Structure 1
Amino acid sequence: MVILNVILPPVAVYIKYGAKKEFLVNLLLTFLGWIPGVIHAFIINDEYVKLFRKS
């Protein structure tokens, strides 16, 4: 997942969330600049992992 976060951030977010708000935001950030898309992908996927560690 880390490799996808760096190479294709929208794909990494899509795998976790599908075509929802998070994916669209990441797609926009990636088009505006690759670095913001990568940062957002890491933040989003980290929150996803934290959700499942609690349960």
Structure 2
Amino acid sequence: MANGCEIFCEILIAILLPPLGVCLRHGCCSVEFWLCVLLTILGYIPGIIYALYVIVFLHRDEYFSEERRPLYASA
């Protein structure tokens, strides 16, 4: 399970270099990575938004335990 410092570092890297942040989480041969590269080439801000989405929201059940899950999340 990722702790707060790891997530903060991933978010910081995703803001500076969006594809690198996605690569660290999902690997460099994933669809998420290549989509982030494409969005970053088309515009830096869409690349950042997608990278943050991938890091924070995609597969969050694997990284957050039940007691840290937000109240609005369904089981």
Identify whether the pair has TM-score above 0.5, normalized to the shorter chain.
yes
Aligned: 1:24 with 2:50: no
Structure showing the higher helix proportion among its residues: 1
- For structure 2, the residue ranges without an aligned partner over 5 or more in a row are 1-9, 67-75
Q: Percent identity?
A: 31
Question: Once superposed, which parts of structure 1, at least 4 consecutive aligned residues long, lie more than 4 Å away?
Answer: none
Per the normalisation by structure 1, the TM-score is: 0.87
1:35 maps to which residue?
45
5+ unaligned residues in a row in structure 1: which ranges? none
Q: Which has more radius of gyration?
A: 2
Please name the residue that 1:9 is paired with. 18
Question: TM-score, structure 2 length as denominator?
Answer: 0.66
Q: How many residues align?
A: 55
Please give the root-mean-square deviation of Cα atoms over the aligned residues, in Å. 1.6
